[in-house]
């Protein structure tokens, strides 16, 4: 890698041409271009061209691994070896009503496992974990590394923003992909997620890879390919990694928004909450606890007896929040009612997510503010009986002029039929892990 006044060993145009023409990039090519882009030697327009070449031509597994490693080396890494606790983490590819991190992190931490959960903000129709937690008065997303370690030694879990020193090459590249239509590219998604998670230094990782209308991956075969790629990257880097493929055709839970989802998460921590949220929380907890060597732990009991709730309260307080404070509520509501008897037959996750975003729960640009109380309550889930005049949805916002566009989006996303639809057996589609018997 060139430094000071030494000549650069490669030309970005040659590397772009190689990938454009379908050739694999060498270790040296990938290492150099990631480093040169981080230093500003390679411009945004050149990296955008390479991203599009990767989007159209793909990458071989060895290339994806090298790209991931190069992005890790672009910045700092965290080291939890001095904690005296086993670490475990979880990452979701994002969905509608996906509040799972909120009950999951304290649930796993309540068994003595350290959970350093570096999370993000919402963009578009998918909600951000940090936006949700910031609806709690006083809660802080920005935590310095020394404070992070202190909280992990205490309550045992932290949900916070990733520091600027973690995989800075990925931060630059992700911002570029977002404006060049190269976000939904498996090699780039996999290397982006895993470079940050591996740099984070956790001993194990469970991936929640969502598939369906409200997910980035609409197609199950592509979601499976992404999950398999990330599991291989994690295990190849020494981080024990598994993945669950989960359904995102319909929203998780009955509340979509920021404060609304915090409310529902607290219900789960109190032993209640919607069945699908509880099911997925427990499934991911079992994966994390198993990876930490606690195969006999009973996460369901920890939800029901208050053990997880105690850890939640400690985590919120440690990050400046008041776990007893009232959550913000929207100033205006609008209720949608059924016009016939029957059963709720469809409830499209994307329609609900976009409607919630239009109410003010999400942002179109990363610098946009969000309304903490905005969102949608789902009074009925797919398969439940409905009577004419009964509530289906309640829309929440501080700006009532948003109702019209939100309703335009939501209306085609649901239907009531005379006959009950086929019920979804489980939110979990499959589990993906390394085949330890192969070879």
Q: Alpha-carbon distance 113 to 5, whole Å?
A: 48
Check whether 28 has a pLDDT greater than 90: yes
Catalytic residue among 90, 91, 172, 254: 91
Q: How confident is the model over 354-413, as pLDDT tens digits?
A: 999 999 998 777 677 899 999 999 999 999 999 999 999 999 999 999 999 999 999 999
Q: Is 12-58's fold the same as 89-325's? A: no
Strand partners, 157: 115
Check whether 332 has a pLDDT greater than 60: yes
User: What are the helix and strand counts (H, E) for the chain?
Assistant: 16, 13
pLDDT band at 438 (very low <50, low <70, confident <90, very high): very low
pLDDT band at 436 (very low <50, low <70, confident <90, very high): low
Whether 177 is catalytic is yes
Catalytic residue among 92, 191, 192, 204: 192
pLDDT band at 250 (very low <50, low <70, confident <90, very high): very high
Q: How confident is the model over 163-215, as pLDDT tens digits?
A: 778 889 998 998 888 788 888 899 999 999 999 999 989 999 999 999 999 99
98 within 8 A of 274, measured Cβ to Cβ: no
Spell out the CATH class of 89-325.
Answer: alpha beta
Average pLDDT over residues 85-108: 95
379 within 8 A of 391, measured Cβ to Cβ: yes
Q: Alpha-carbon distance 367 to 259, whole Å?
A: 20
Q: How confident is the model over 217-239, as pLDDT tens digits?
A: 899 999 999 999 999 999 999 99
CA atoms within 13 A on the CB side of 82: 6
Largest CA distance in the chain: 76
Check whether 123 has a pLDDT greater than 90: no
- For the chain, domain boundaries: 12-58, 89-325, 332-417
Catalytic residue among 177, 210, 224, 396: 177
Catalytic residue among 19, 90, 196, 313: 196
196 within 8 A of 162, measured Cβ to Cβ: yes
Check whether 5 has a pLDDT greater than 70: no
Q: How confident is the model over 401-417, as pLDDT tens digits?
A: 999 999 999 999 999 99
Q: Which pLDDT value is given to residue 124?
A: 65
Q: Which pLDDT value is given to residue 439?
A: 43
pLDDT band at 71 (very low <50, low <70, confident <90, very high): very high
- Sequence-ordered strand ranges (E) for 270-352: 332-337, 342-347
Q: Which pLDDT value is given to residue 437?
A: 47
Whether 196 is catalytic is yes
166 within 8 A of 75, measured Cβ to Cβ: yes
User: Has domain 332-417 been given CATH number 3.90.1170.30?
Assistant: yes
Q: 109-118 as b/e, with b when 16 or more CB fall inside 10 Å?
A: bbbebbbbbb
Whether 170 is catalytic is yes
Average pLDDT over residues 40-65: 96
Q: Which pLDDT value is given to residue 298?
A: 97
Distance of CA 287 to the CA centre of its chain: 17
User: Percent of the chain scored above 90 by pLDDT?
Assistant: 84
Report helix, strand or coil for 89: strand
Average pLDDT over residues 428-437: 83
Q: What is the CATH number of domain 12-58?
A: 1.20.970.10
- State the Cα torsion 314-317-319-322 to the nearest 10°: 140
């Amino acid at each position: 890698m060139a430094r000071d006044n030494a000549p650069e060993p490669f030309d970005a145009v040659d590397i772009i041409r190689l990938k454009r023409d379908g050739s694999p990039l060498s270790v040296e090519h990938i290492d150099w271009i990631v480093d040169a882009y981080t230093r500003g030697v390679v411009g945004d327009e050149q990296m955008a061209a390479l991203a599009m070449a990767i989007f159209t031509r793909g990458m071989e597994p060895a290339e994806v691994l090298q790209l991931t490693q190069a992005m890790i080396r672009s910045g700092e890494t965290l080291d939890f070896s001095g904690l005296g606790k086993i670490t475990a983490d979880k990452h979701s590819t994002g969905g509608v009503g996906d509040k799972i991190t909120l009950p999951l992190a304290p649930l796993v931490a309540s068994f003595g496992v350290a959970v350093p959960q570096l999370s993000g903000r919402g963009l578009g129709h998918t909600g951000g974990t940090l936006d949700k937690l910031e609806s709690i008065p006083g809660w802080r997303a920005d935590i310095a590394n020394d404070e992070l370690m202190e909280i992990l030694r205490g309550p045992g879990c932290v949900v916070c923003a990733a520091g600027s020193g973690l995989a800075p090459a990925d931060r630059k590249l992700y911002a570029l992909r977002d404006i060049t239509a190269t976000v939904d590219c498996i090699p780039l998604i996999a290397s982006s997620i895993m470079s940050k998670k591996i740099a984070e230094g956790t001993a194990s990782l469970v991936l929640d890879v969502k598939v369906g209308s409200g997910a980035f991956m609409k197609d199950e075969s592509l979601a499976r390919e992404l999950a398999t790629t990330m599991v291989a990257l994690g295990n190849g880097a020494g981080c024990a990694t598994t993945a669950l493929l989960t359904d995102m055709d319909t929203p998780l839970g009955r509340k979509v928004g920021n404060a609304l989802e915090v409310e529902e998460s607290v219900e789960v921590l109190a032993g209640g909450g919607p069945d699908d949220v509880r099911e997925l929380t427990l499934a991911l907890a079992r994966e994390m606890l198993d990876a930490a060597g606690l195969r006999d732990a009973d996460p369901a009991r920890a939800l029901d007896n208050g053990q997880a709730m105690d850890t939640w309260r400690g985590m919120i307080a440690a990050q400046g929040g008041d776990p007893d404070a009232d959550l913000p509520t929207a100033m205006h509501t609008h209720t949608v009612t059924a016009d016939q008897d029957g059963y709720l037959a469809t409830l499209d996750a994307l329609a609900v997510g976009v409607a919630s975003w239009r109410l003010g729960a999400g942002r179109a640009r990363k610098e946009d503010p969000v309304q903490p109380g905005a969102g949608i309550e789902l009074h009925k889930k797919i398969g439940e009986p409905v009577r004419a005049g009964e509530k289906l949805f309640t829309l929440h916002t501080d700006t009532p002029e948003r109702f019209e566009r939100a309703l335009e989006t939501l209306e085609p996303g649901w239907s009531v039929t005379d006959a009950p639809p086929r019920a979804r057996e489980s939110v979990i589609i499959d589990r993906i892990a390394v085949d330890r018997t192969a070879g």
